[in-house]
Amino acid sequence: MSYLFTSESVSEGHPDKVSDQIADAILDQFLAADPDSKVACEVLVTTGQVVLAGEVRSRTYIDVQSVARAVIERIGYTKSEYGFAANSCGIFSALHEQSADINRGVDRSDRSDQGAGDQGMMFGYATNETKNYMPLTLDLAHSLLYELAAIRKDPATPMPYLRPDAKSQVTIEYDNAGKPVRIDTIVISTQHDNFVKPSNTLSEAEADAAMRDRIHQDVATILLPRVKALYKPEIARLFDGEMKLLVNPTGKFVIGGPHGDTGVTGRKIIVDTYGGRASHGGGAFSGKDPSKVDRSAAYAARHIAKNMVAAGVADEMLVQVAYAIGVAQPVSVYVNTRGTRHVPLSDGEIALKVQELFDMRPFAIEQRLKLRHPIYEETAAYGHFGRDPRTEIKTFTDEHGHTFHQEVELFTWEKLDYVDRIRTAFGLN
């Protein structure tokens, strides 16, 4: 019997994502000036206000207010009518020194023995359902909002009423074999200007209906064709004539962003990862330097799962790794191929080979994936996984106000750089 599965995404202007992006931009500034910085930054945004809190150990000083305002401006909150604007919001910082008790469990004279920054379990996942080895429901949900933001930022935008806050949701029908059959439902909720107002001849309900009709039409005729064009024909055909499209189901979405909802870092962990298709250990990513295994080990687990699936070990793979605070070696590594493996080994035997192929000590992960570089602001919207690895030159400001540039590799955990050695290890050459 077929079944339905749903994933959601949120835009860069969603209040929780605003918080995540500010936190990761601050982290990047610290790492750019001092790669050994230890950072755990939490952010809250609400009407006209940003609150920064957390722990930092670093040899540099950062103008956190300027960093936060630059992120808010980049996202698009630049008008006072939004109730939250880059040049006028208040910013309160309560960042303070990292606990010495935590630091003593992490730092070692031999850096290869660096302990985990906390206990906990982290998960990585991959599936060959899409070319980037991500669940299709989530990949589509991200693409819808990424394209919607591109339309909003286009100087010649055909949807000039768009505001930064938005959410998407994609429901796909799968057959008994777990293969996608069709898209059942797409939901788009996008913040917008109040571009049709009541008048002597138009009631408030009629004005709201006119706005929703225009937005629905534009989503159907502008946004969806752009998203379909991103995918191969076998995916594009899933947008069939029976697909339900729900746009701004409440009828109106003018009040949004931090003015409409308070945002906090770390509240979109399923959007950040696998859209509900894989387990999650509960630890958020943004604002945390890579000594925090919540982040670095989750990236390493994704790197393992993606390379293993790409190598042909299985069609789908879930990897769990767990740590004790202050201890370098993980306490466990677990693999579940969900019955899709193509090698004559049990999942437990595959897990043993994973431990032979990948050094999962925190410092080894940092070195393998180049995580001590300022690479994190780009991860904080549209998902941490399924992204294209690339090299960019980023610009930063030092504590004296001077700008400098760094070349960095983004999304290194998405590289398929272990495929050949995995095939050799599993006899798949």
Which residues are annotated as part of the binding site for K(+)?
Answer: 42
Determine how β-strand 244-247 pairs with β-strand 180-192.
parallel
Residues in the annotated binding site:
14, 16, 42, 55, 98, 165-167, 252-253, 261, 267-268, 284, 288, 292
Buried b (16+ CB within 10 A) or exposed e, 96-125: eebeeebeebbeeeeeeebbbbbebbbbbb
Residues in the annotated binding site for ATP:
14, 165-167, 252-253, 261, 267-268, 284, 288
Buried b (16+ CB within 10 A) or exposed e, 60-83: eebebeebbbbbbeebbbeeeebb
Can you tell me the distance from the alpha carbon of 143 to that of 239, in angstroms, rounded to the nearest whole number? Answer: 14
CB burial class (10 A; 0-12, 13-18, 19+) of residue 219? buried
* H helix runs in 180-223, sequence order: 204-218
Task: Tell whether the torsion through CA atoms of 188, 183, 130 and 314 is positive or negative.
Answer: positive
Which two three-digit tokens encode residue 400? 């004296």
Widest distance between CA atoms in the chain: 77
Task: Identify whether the C-beta of residue 343 lies closer than 8 Å to the C-beta of residue 426.
Answer: yes
Can you tell me the distance from the alpha carbon of 223 to that of 210, in angstroms, rounded to the nearest whole number? Answer: 19
Residues in the annotated binding site for L-methionine:
55, 98, 261, 292
The crossing angle, in degrees rounded to 10, of helices 347-357 and 293-311 is 110
Give me the numbers of helices (H) and strands (E) for the chain, helices first please: 13, 13
Can you tell me the distance from the alpha carbon of 246 to that of 260, in angstroms, rounded to the nearest whole number? Answer: 21
Residues in the annotated binding site for Mg(2+):
16
Can you tell me the distance from the alpha carbon of 313 to that of 309, in angstroms, rounded to the nearest whole number? Answer: 6
Which two three-digit tokens encode residue 165? 């806050």
